[in-house]
Structure 1
Amino acid sequence: MDVTPTLSLFDDAYKSGTPPWVIGAPQPAIVELERAGGFTGRVLDVGCGAGEHTILLTRLGYDVLGVDYAPAAIEHARANAAAQHVEARFAVADATNLGSATRYDTILDSALFHIFAAADRARYVASLHAACEPGGTVHVLALSDRGHGFGPQVSEDDIRGAFGDGWTLESLVETTYRGVIGEAHVAAFGQPAGSLVDEPAWLARARRGDL
Protein backbone atom coordinates (compact mmCIF):
# COMPACT_ATOMS: atom_id res chain seq x y z
CA MET A 1 0.00 0.00 0.00
CA ASP A 2 1.27 3.50 -0.85
CA VAL A 3 -1.24 5.23 1.44
CA THR A 4 -3.06 3.79 4.45
CA PRO A 5 -6.86 4.03 3.96
CA THR A 6 -8.60 6.58 6.15
CA LEU A 7 -10.72 5.77 9.17
CA SER A 8 -13.76 7.21 7.42
CA LEU A 9 -13.47 4.63 4.62
CA PHE A 10 -13.92 1.77 7.08
CA ASP A 11 -16.47 3.53 9.27
CA ASP A 12 -18.58 4.41 6.22
CA ALA A 13 -18.32 0.84 4.92
CA TYR A 14 -20.03 -0.46 8.06
CA LYS A 15 -22.59 2.34 8.12
CA SER A 16 -23.62 1.85 4.50
CA GLY A 17 -23.96 -1.92 4.49
CA THR A 18 -21.91 -5.09 4.73
CA PRO A 19 -18.26 -4.64 3.68
CA PRO A 20 -16.78 -7.25 1.31
CA TRP A 21 -14.51 -8.58 4.04
CA VAL A 22 -17.49 -9.47 6.26
CA ILE A 23 -18.55 -13.01 5.37
CA GLY A 24 -20.85 -13.68 8.33
CA ALA A 25 -18.50 -16.30 9.77
CA PRO A 26 -14.91 -16.64 10.98
CA GLN A 27 -12.17 -17.04 8.39
CA PRO A 28 -11.57 -20.77 7.74
CA ALA A 29 -7.82 -20.23 8.27
CA ILE A 30 -8.48 -18.82 11.75
CA VAL A 31 -10.83 -21.68 12.65
CA GLU A 32 -8.08 -24.13 11.73
CA LEU A 33 -5.52 -22.09 13.66
CA GLU A 34 -7.61 -22.35 16.80
CA ARG A 35 -8.09 -26.08 16.34
CA ALA A 36 -4.31 -26.43 16.04
CA GLY A 37 -3.81 -24.78 19.44
CA GLY A 38 -2.78 -21.36 18.16
CA PHE A 39 -4.44 -19.39 20.99
CA THR A 40 -3.38 -19.32 24.63
CA GLY A 41 -3.84 -17.02 27.61
CA ARG A 42 -5.22 -13.52 27.22
CA VAL A 43 -6.15 -12.85 23.56
CA LEU A 44 -6.46 -9.60 21.59
CA ASP A 45 -8.34 -9.59 18.27
CA VAL A 46 -6.97 -6.42 16.67
CA GLY A 47 -8.95 -4.92 13.79
CA CYS A 48 -11.82 -7.18 14.81
CA GLY A 49 -14.33 -5.70 12.35
CA ALA A 50 -17.71 -7.38 12.70
CA GLY A 51 -16.35 -9.48 15.54
CA GLU A 52 -16.59 -12.99 14.08
CA HIS A 53 -13.28 -14.15 15.58
CA THR A 54 -13.84 -12.53 18.97
CA ILE A 55 -17.25 -14.19 19.12
CA LEU A 56 -15.79 -17.56 18.09
CA LEU A 57 -13.05 -17.43 20.71
CA THR A 58 -15.38 -16.15 23.44
CA ARG A 59 -17.78 -19.00 22.73
CA LEU A 60 -14.88 -21.43 23.07
CA GLY A 61 -13.96 -20.06 26.49
CA TYR A 62 -11.01 -17.77 25.73
CA ASP A 63 -10.36 -14.51 27.56
CA VAL A 64 -10.54 -12.28 24.47
CA LEU A 65 -11.04 -8.62 23.63
CA GLY A 66 -11.87 -7.42 20.12
CA VAL A 67 -10.76 -3.91 19.14
CA ASP A 68 -11.24 -1.79 16.02
CA TYR A 69 -10.51 1.82 15.11
CA ALA A 70 -13.89 2.26 13.40
CA PRO A 71 -16.73 2.94 15.89
CA ALA A 72 -19.27 1.62 13.38
CA ALA A 73 -17.39 -1.69 13.25
CA ILE A 74 -17.61 -2.05 17.03
CA GLU A 75 -21.33 -1.28 16.93
CA HIS A 76 -21.71 -3.97 14.26
CA ALA A 77 -19.64 -6.45 16.32
CA ARG A 78 -21.68 -5.87 19.48
CA ALA A 79 -24.94 -6.33 17.58
CA ASN A 80 -23.54 -9.47 15.98
CA ALA A 81 -22.56 -10.91 19.37
CA ALA A 82 -25.95 -10.05 20.89
CA ALA A 83 -27.75 -11.76 18.01
CA GLN A 84 -25.72 -14.90 18.71
CA HIS A 85 -26.23 -14.63 22.50
CA VAL A 86 -22.48 -14.44 23.13
CA GLU A 87 -21.15 -12.06 25.79
CA ALA A 88 -18.12 -10.96 23.79
CA ARG A 89 -16.12 -7.87 24.72
CA PHE A 90 -15.29 -5.10 22.26
CA ALA A 91 -13.70 -1.64 22.39
CA VAL A 92 -12.71 1.15 20.03
CA ALA A 93 -8.90 1.40 19.87
CA ASP A 94 -6.13 2.60 17.57
CA ALA A 95 -4.09 -0.40 16.44
CA THR A 96 -1.03 1.79 15.96
CA ASN A 97 -1.17 2.93 19.58
CA LEU A 98 -2.26 -0.05 21.67
CA GLY A 99 0.03 0.78 24.59
CA SER A 100 1.44 -1.64 27.17
CA ALA A 101 -0.97 -1.14 30.09
CA THR A 102 -2.53 -4.51 29.23
CA ARG A 103 -0.43 -7.15 27.53
CA TYR A 104 -1.69 -10.18 25.67
CA ASP A 105 -0.35 -13.71 25.29
CA THR A 106 -1.85 -14.07 21.82
CA ILE A 107 -2.71 -11.33 19.34
CA LEU A 108 -4.74 -12.04 16.20
CA ASP A 109 -4.61 -9.84 13.12
CA SER A 110 -7.03 -10.96 10.42
CA ALA A 111 -6.73 -8.66 7.40
CA LEU A 112 -5.35 -5.56 9.16
CA PHE A 113 -1.59 -5.72 8.50
CA HIS A 114 -2.03 -5.46 4.75
CA ILE A 115 -3.90 -2.13 4.84
CA PHE A 116 -0.93 -0.15 6.17
CA ALA A 117 1.51 1.86 4.09
CA ALA A 118 5.16 1.14 4.92
CA ALA A 119 5.67 3.91 7.51
CA ASP A 120 2.38 3.16 9.26
CA ARG A 121 3.15 -0.56 9.15
CA ALA A 122 6.29 0.02 11.20
CA ARG A 123 4.28 1.96 13.79
CA TYR A 124 1.67 -0.79 13.84
CA VAL A 125 4.18 -3.59 14.43
CA ALA A 126 5.83 -1.53 17.19
CA SER A 127 2.38 -1.17 18.76
CA LEU A 128 1.88 -4.94 18.59
CA HIS A 129 5.25 -5.41 20.29
CA ALA A 130 4.21 -3.12 23.15
CA ALA A 131 0.89 -4.93 23.63
CA CYS A 132 2.30 -8.47 23.43
CA GLU A 133 3.71 -10.29 26.43
CA PRO A 134 7.40 -11.21 26.14
CA GLY A 135 7.34 -14.66 24.58
CA GLY A 136 3.79 -14.06 23.36
CA THR A 137 2.56 -14.73 19.85
CA VAL A 138 1.11 -12.62 17.05
CA HIS A 139 -0.78 -14.33 14.21
CA VAL A 140 -1.20 -12.36 10.97
CA LEU A 141 -3.57 -13.35 8.16
CA ALA A 142 -2.91 -11.02 5.21
CA LEU A 143 -3.83 -10.97 1.53
CA SER A 144 -0.96 -12.15 -0.65
CA ASP A 145 0.46 -10.27 -3.64
CA ARG A 146 -0.24 -13.43 -5.63
CA GLY A 147 -3.97 -12.67 -5.59
CA HIS A 148 -6.38 -10.93 -7.97
CA GLY A 149 -6.42 -7.58 -6.17
CA PHE A 150 -9.45 -8.28 -3.96
CA GLY A 151 -7.97 -5.80 -1.48
CA PRO A 152 -4.61 -4.43 -0.34
CA GLN A 153 -1.90 -7.07 -0.74
CA VAL A 154 1.52 -7.71 0.77
CA SER A 155 4.52 -9.80 -0.20
CA GLU A 156 6.47 -12.37 1.77
CA ASP A 157 9.28 -9.81 2.04
CA ASP A 158 6.85 -7.24 3.50
CA ILE A 159 6.03 -9.59 6.36
CA ARG A 160 9.59 -10.75 6.95
CA GLY A 161 10.81 -7.16 6.94
CA ALA A 162 8.16 -6.01 9.40
CA PHE A 163 8.82 -8.72 11.97
CA GLY A 164 12.57 -8.31 12.32
CA ASP A 165 14.20 -6.83 15.43
CA GLY A 166 12.36 -7.80 18.60
CA TRP A 167 10.60 -10.72 16.96
CA THR A 168 11.20 -14.29 15.88
CA LEU A 169 9.17 -15.13 12.77
CA GLU A 170 8.41 -18.75 13.55
CA SER A 171 6.18 -19.55 10.61
CA LEU A 172 5.06 -18.01 7.32
CA VAL A 173 2.82 -20.20 5.17
CA GLU A 174 0.43 -19.79 2.28
CA THR A 175 -3.28 -20.11 2.95
CA THR A 176 -6.48 -18.42 1.77
CA TYR A 177 -8.63 -15.48 2.81
CA ARG A 178 -12.38 -15.60 2.12
CA GLY A 179 -14.29 -12.52 0.98
CA VAL A 180 -17.41 -11.41 -0.83
CA ILE A 181 -17.09 -10.17 -4.42
CA GLY A 182 -18.37 -6.63 -4.86
CA GLU A 183 -19.30 -4.85 -8.07
CA ALA A 184 -15.76 -3.47 -8.38
CA HIS A 185 -14.28 -6.99 -8.58
CA VAL A 186 -16.79 -8.75 -10.84
CA ALA A 187 -14.63 -8.40 -13.97
CA ALA A 188 -11.43 -9.53 -12.24
CA PHE A 189 -13.00 -12.69 -10.85
CA GLY A 190 -15.55 -13.45 -13.55
CA GLN A 191 -18.15 -14.20 -10.87
CA PRO A 192 -21.31 -12.31 -9.90
CA ALA A 193 -21.36 -9.82 -7.03
CA GLY A 194 -22.15 -11.51 -3.75
CA SER A 195 -20.15 -14.66 -4.54
CA LEU A 196 -17.68 -15.95 -1.98
CA VAL A 197 -14.08 -16.18 -3.13
CA ASP A 198 -10.98 -17.64 -1.49
CA GLU A 199 -7.94 -15.51 -2.29
CA PRO A 200 -4.25 -16.34 -1.72
CA ALA A 201 -3.07 -15.16 1.68
CA TRP A 202 -0.20 -15.40 4.12
CA LEU A 203 -0.48 -16.76 7.64
CA ALA A 204 2.42 -15.65 9.81
CA ARG A 205 3.31 -16.51 13.40
CA ALA A 206 5.72 -14.15 15.14
CA ARG A 207 6.96 -14.48 18.71
CA ARG A 208 7.88 -11.40 20.72
CA GLY A 209 11.38 -11.31 22.13
CA ASP A 210 12.16 -10.71 25.79
CA LEU A 211 13.46 -7.16 25.25
Structure 2
Amino acid sequence: MAPMTEPAGPPEGTAATAEVFDAVYRGESPFGKRPPWDIGAPQPAYVALEEAGLIAGAVLDAGCGTGEDALHLADRGYAVTGLDLSPEAIALAREKARARGLDAVFEVADALDLKGYRGRFDTVIDCGLAHTFEAGRLRTYAAALHRACRPGALVHVLSVSDRGAREMQARLAAAIDRIPEPLPDGESAEPALRRSAEHLREGFADGWAAESIDEALIRGIVPTTAELLDVHAWLGRFRRA
Protein backbone atom coordinates (compact mmCIF):
# COMPACT_ATOMS: atom_id res chain seq x y z
CA MET A 1 0.00 0.00 0.00
CA ALA A 2 1.33 3.44 -0.87
CA PRO A 3 2.09 5.64 2.12
CA MET A 4 -0.58 8.18 2.95
CA THR A 5 0.34 11.83 2.72
CA GLU A 6 -1.30 14.98 3.93
CA PRO A 7 -3.20 16.88 1.23
CA ALA A 8 -1.27 19.75 -0.20
CA GLY A 9 -2.04 23.04 1.50
CA PRO A 10 -2.40 26.40 -0.17
CA PRO A 11 0.75 27.76 -1.82
CA GLU A 12 3.02 29.97 0.25
CA GLY A 13 5.71 32.56 -0.38
CA THR A 14 6.61 33.24 -3.99
CA ALA A 15 4.21 30.55 -5.25
CA ALA A 16 1.30 32.30 -3.55
CA THR A 17 2.40 35.66 -4.94
CA ALA A 18 2.65 34.21 -8.43
CA GLU A 19 -0.87 32.79 -8.17
CA VAL A 20 -2.26 36.16 -7.12
CA PHE A 21 -0.65 37.93 -10.07
CA ASP A 22 -1.61 35.14 -12.47
CA ALA A 23 -5.24 35.72 -11.51
CA VAL A 24 -4.86 39.46 -12.04
CA TYR A 25 -3.40 38.93 -15.53
CA ARG A 26 -6.23 36.50 -16.34
CA GLY A 27 -8.71 39.25 -15.51
CA GLU A 28 -9.90 37.54 -12.33
CA SER A 29 -9.56 40.51 -9.95
CA PRO A 30 -11.44 43.69 -9.09
CA PHE A 31 -9.34 45.45 -11.75
CA GLY A 32 -11.17 43.59 -14.52
CA LYS A 33 -9.38 42.79 -17.76
CA ARG A 34 -6.37 45.09 -17.22
CA PRO A 35 -4.44 45.76 -14.03
CA PRO A 36 -3.67 49.43 -13.36
CA TRP A 37 0.03 49.05 -14.18
CA ASP A 38 -0.52 47.42 -17.59
CA ILE A 39 -0.87 50.57 -19.70
CA GLY A 40 -0.29 48.98 -23.11
CA ALA A 41 2.75 51.15 -23.84
CA PRO A 42 6.20 51.84 -22.38
CA GLN A 43 6.50 54.11 -19.39
CA PRO A 44 7.31 57.66 -20.56
CA ALA A 45 10.09 57.85 -17.97
CA TYR A 46 11.93 54.95 -19.63
CA VAL A 47 11.38 56.32 -23.11
CA ALA A 48 13.07 59.51 -21.89
CA LEU A 49 15.94 57.61 -20.25
CA GLU A 50 16.72 55.78 -23.48
CA GLU A 51 16.61 59.02 -25.46
CA ALA A 52 19.01 60.54 -22.92
CA GLY A 53 21.56 57.76 -23.48
CA LEU A 54 21.13 56.17 -20.05
CA ILE A 55 20.36 52.68 -21.34
CA ALA A 56 23.29 50.59 -22.59
CA GLY A 57 24.44 47.04 -23.20
CA ALA A 58 22.46 44.01 -22.09
CA VAL A 59 19.24 45.10 -20.37
CA LEU A 60 17.18 43.42 -17.66
CA ASP A 61 13.55 44.42 -17.16
CA ALA A 62 12.93 43.22 -13.59
CA GLY A 63 9.26 42.55 -12.95
CA CYS A 64 8.51 43.05 -16.63
CA GLY A 65 4.80 42.22 -16.52
CA THR A 66 3.45 41.88 -20.05
CA GLY A 67 6.64 43.36 -21.46
CA GLU A 68 5.90 46.82 -22.86
CA ASP A 69 9.08 48.46 -21.54
CA ALA A 70 11.25 45.51 -22.60
CA LEU A 71 9.67 45.42 -26.05
CA HIS A 72 10.17 49.14 -26.53
CA LEU A 73 13.88 48.73 -25.86
CA ALA A 74 14.10 45.61 -28.04
CA ASP A 75 12.55 47.64 -30.84
CA ARG A 76 15.31 50.21 -30.29
CA GLY A 77 17.95 47.53 -30.83
CA TYR A 78 18.87 46.49 -27.28
CA ALA A 79 19.38 42.91 -26.10
CA VAL A 80 16.64 42.68 -23.48
CA THR A 81 15.62 40.03 -20.97
CA GLY A 82 12.31 40.44 -19.16
CA LEU A 83 11.77 38.50 -15.94
CA ASP A 84 8.59 38.17 -13.90
CA LEU A 85 7.27 35.87 -11.20
CA SER A 86 3.94 35.43 -13.02
CA PRO A 87 3.79 32.76 -15.77
CA GLU A 88 0.63 34.43 -17.10
CA ALA A 89 2.46 37.75 -17.54
CA ILE A 90 5.39 36.04 -19.26
CA ALA A 91 3.07 34.18 -21.64
CA LEU A 92 1.44 37.48 -22.61
CA ALA A 93 4.85 39.15 -23.08
CA ARG A 94 6.08 36.31 -25.31
CA GLU A 95 2.94 36.54 -27.43
CA LYS A 96 3.46 40.29 -27.87
CA ALA A 97 7.07 39.70 -28.92
CA ARG A 98 5.99 37.12 -31.50
CA ALA A 99 3.23 39.35 -32.85
CA ARG A 100 5.58 42.32 -33.20
CA GLY A 101 8.52 40.32 -34.56
CA LEU A 102 10.80 41.47 -31.74
CA ASP A 103 13.71 39.49 -30.34
CA ALA A 104 13.29 39.84 -26.58
CA VAL A 105 13.73 37.04 -24.04
CA PHE A 106 11.01 36.56 -21.42
CA GLU A 107 11.38 34.09 -18.55
CA VAL A 108 9.70 33.29 -15.24
CA ALA A 109 12.06 34.13 -12.38
CA ASP A 110 12.13 35.30 -8.78
CA ALA A 111 13.71 38.77 -8.64
CA LEU A 112 14.81 38.13 -5.06
CA ASP A 113 17.06 35.31 -6.26
CA LEU A 114 18.00 35.61 -9.97
CA LYS A 115 19.88 32.32 -10.05
CA GLY A 116 21.45 31.66 -13.41
CA TYR A 117 21.90 35.33 -14.32
CA ARG A 118 25.19 36.15 -12.59
CA GLY A 119 27.16 38.95 -14.29
CA ARG A 120 24.77 39.21 -17.24
CA PHE A 121 23.48 42.78 -17.35
CA ASP A 122 24.71 46.33 -17.94
CA THR A 123 21.40 48.10 -17.32
CA VAL A 124 18.34 47.23 -15.24
CA ILE A 125 14.95 48.89 -15.45
CA ASP A 126 12.38 48.36 -12.71
CA CYS A 127 8.90 49.82 -13.02
CA GLY A 128 6.84 49.20 -9.92
CA LEU A 129 8.66 46.19 -8.46
CA ALA A 130 10.97 47.71 -5.84
CA HIS A 131 8.12 49.62 -4.22
CA THR A 132 6.42 46.32 -3.30
CA PHE A 133 9.28 45.35 -0.96
CA GLU A 134 9.68 46.25 2.68
CA ALA A 135 13.16 47.20 3.87
CA GLY A 136 14.65 43.72 4.32
CA ARG A 137 13.32 42.34 1.04
CA LEU A 138 14.44 45.47 -0.80
CA ARG A 139 18.00 44.84 0.38
CA THR A 140 17.68 41.20 -0.74
CA TYR A 141 16.47 42.40 -4.14
CA ALA A 142 19.34 44.88 -4.46
CA ALA A 143 21.80 42.10 -3.59
CA ALA A 144 20.28 39.82 -6.26
CA LEU A 145 20.61 42.60 -8.85
CA HIS A 146 24.21 43.18 -7.75
CA ARG A 147 25.00 39.52 -8.54
CA ALA A 148 23.19 39.71 -11.89
CA CYS A 149 24.94 42.91 -13.03
CA ARG A 150 28.42 43.64 -14.29
CA PRO A 151 30.63 46.23 -12.54
CA GLY A 152 29.53 49.75 -13.47
CA ALA A 153 25.99 48.67 -14.39
CA LEU A 154 23.11 51.09 -13.87
CA VAL A 155 19.79 50.29 -12.23
CA HIS A 156 16.87 52.63 -12.91
CA VAL A 157 14.07 52.23 -10.38
CA LEU A 158 10.70 53.87 -11.07
CA SER A 159 8.86 53.54 -7.78
CA VAL A 160 5.48 54.86 -6.68
CA SER A 161 5.89 57.25 -3.75
CA ASP A 162 3.69 57.47 -0.66
CA ARG A 163 1.93 60.39 -2.30
CA GLY A 164 1.51 58.52 -5.58
CA ALA A 165 0.12 55.45 -3.81
CA ARG A 166 -2.54 57.62 -2.15
CA GLU A 167 -3.37 59.26 -5.49
CA MET A 168 -3.78 55.93 -7.26
CA GLN A 169 -5.72 54.34 -4.39
CA ALA A 170 -8.19 57.22 -4.31
CA ARG A 171 -8.74 57.07 -8.08
CA LEU A 172 -9.22 53.31 -8.09
CA ALA A 173 -11.59 53.46 -5.12
CA ALA A 174 -13.69 56.06 -6.92
CA ALA A 175 -13.92 53.87 -10.04
CA ILE A 176 -14.23 50.34 -8.62
CA ASP A 177 -16.65 49.43 -5.83
CA ARG A 178 -14.48 46.56 -4.57
CA ILE A 179 -11.41 48.75 -4.10
CA PRO A 180 -11.35 50.10 -0.52
CA GLU A 181 -11.14 53.76 0.33
CA PRO A 182 -7.77 54.88 1.72
CA LEU A 183 -7.37 54.58 5.46
CA PRO A 184 -6.92 57.71 7.62
CA ASP A 185 -3.42 59.17 7.77
CA GLY A 186 -1.23 57.16 10.09
CA GLU A 187 -3.13 53.90 9.50
CA SER A 188 -2.43 53.32 5.81
CA ALA A 189 0.87 51.45 6.10
CA GLU A 190 3.47 50.19 8.48
CA PRO A 191 6.62 52.34 8.49
CA ALA A 192 8.63 49.57 6.80
CA LEU A 193 6.27 49.65 3.82
CA ARG A 194 6.33 53.39 3.26
CA ARG A 195 7.60 54.39 -0.16
CA SER A 196 10.12 57.15 0.48
CA ALA A 197 13.27 58.22 -1.34
CA GLU A 198 15.22 57.27 1.77
CA HIS A 199 13.70 53.78 1.68
CA LEU A 200 15.15 53.32 -1.81
CA ARG A 201 18.51 54.79 -0.83
CA GLU A 202 18.84 52.47 2.17
CA GLY A 203 17.74 49.45 0.14
CA PHE A 204 20.55 50.02 -2.36
CA ALA A 205 23.17 51.00 0.24
CA ASP A 206 25.39 47.91 -0.10
CA GLY A 207 27.44 47.63 -3.28
CA TRP A 208 25.64 50.47 -5.05
CA ALA A 209 26.24 54.21 -5.41
CA ALA A 210 23.09 56.31 -5.52
CA GLU A 211 23.64 58.73 -8.40
CA SER A 212 20.20 60.36 -8.15
CA ILE A 213 16.72 59.93 -6.71
CA ASP A 214 14.43 62.43 -8.38
CA GLU A 215 10.73 63.16 -8.35
CA ALA A 216 9.01 61.65 -11.37
CA LEU A 217 5.68 60.35 -12.62
CA ILE A 218 4.58 56.77 -13.11
CA ARG A 219 1.74 56.10 -15.50
CA GLY A 220 -1.15 53.84 -14.61
CA ILE A 221 -4.57 53.10 -15.96
CA VAL A 222 -8.01 53.13 -14.38
CA PRO A 223 -9.11 49.72 -15.66
CA THR A 224 -12.84 50.31 -15.89
CA THR A 225 -12.40 53.51 -17.91
CA ALA A 226 -9.07 52.99 -19.72
CA GLU A 227 -8.19 56.48 -18.42
CA LEU A 228 -4.46 57.07 -18.14
CA LEU A 229 -3.35 58.50 -14.83
CA ASP A 230 0.10 59.88 -13.92
CA VAL A 231 0.92 59.72 -10.20
CA HIS A 232 3.87 60.88 -8.16
CA ALA A 233 6.89 58.57 -8.08
CA TRP A 234 10.62 58.38 -7.46
CA LEU A 235 13.11 57.68 -10.21
CA GLY A 236 16.29 56.34 -8.66
CA ARG A 237 19.56 55.69 -10.48
CA PHE A 238 22.08 53.38 -8.79
CA ARG A 239 25.47 52.33 -10.12
CA ARG A 240 27.02 48.98 -9.25
CA ALA A 241 30.41 49.11 -7.61
TM-score, reference length from structure 2: 0.77
User: Aligned pair 1:195/2:227, yes or no?
Assistant: yes
Matched, 1:26 2:42: yes
1:159 paired to 2:200: yes
Q: Distance in 2 between matches of 1:145 and 1:23?
A: 21
Q: CA deviation at 1:101?
A: 3.1
Q: State how far apart, in whole Å, the 1-side matches of 2:129 and 2:236 are.
A: 13
Aligned residue among 46, 51, 63 for 2:67: 51
- Structure 1 residue runs without a partner (length 5+): 184-192
**Match of 2:159?**
142
Gap regions ≥5 residues in structure 2: 1-12, 28-32, 170-192
Percent sequence identity is 46
Residue 9 (structure 1) aligns with: 20
Q: Paired residue for 1:105?
A: 122
Separation of aligned partners in 2, 1:65 and 1:104 = 9
- For residues 109-163 of structure 1, the C-alpha deviation after alignment (integer angstroms, 9 at most, x for no partner) is 1110001122222211111111111111111000011222526861111011111
Summarize the Cα distance change of 1:153–1:11 in structure 2 as closer, same or farther, 3 Å threshold.
farther
Instruction: Report the alpha carbon displacement of residue 85 of structure 1 after superposing the two structures with TM.
Output: 2.5
Structure 2 residue aligned with 1:92: 108
TM-score between both structures, scaled by the size of structure 1: 0.87
Calculate the aligned-residue CA RMSD, in Å. Answer: 2.0
Larger Cα-atom Rg: 2
Residue number in structure 1 paired with 2:135: 118
How many residue pairs match? The answer is 198
Mapped to 1, the partners of 2:99 and 2:158 lie a distance apart of: 26
Mean CA deviation greater in 10-19 or 107-116: 10-19
Distance (whole Å) between structure 1 residues aligned to residue 43 and residue 131 of structure 2: 16
CA distance in 1, matches of 2:147, 2:160: 24
Asked if 2 retains the 8 angstrom alpha-carbon contact of 1:142 and 1:153, the reply is no
Instruction: Give how far 1:83 is off.
Output: 2.5
User: 1:148-199 CA distances to partner (integer Å, 9 max, x unpaired)?
Assistant: 252686111101111112110001111100101246xxxxxxxxx4311000
Do the aligned residues in 1 keep the contact of 2:210 with 2:236 (CA within 8 Å)?
yes
Q: Where does residue 188 of structure 2 map in the other structure?
A: none
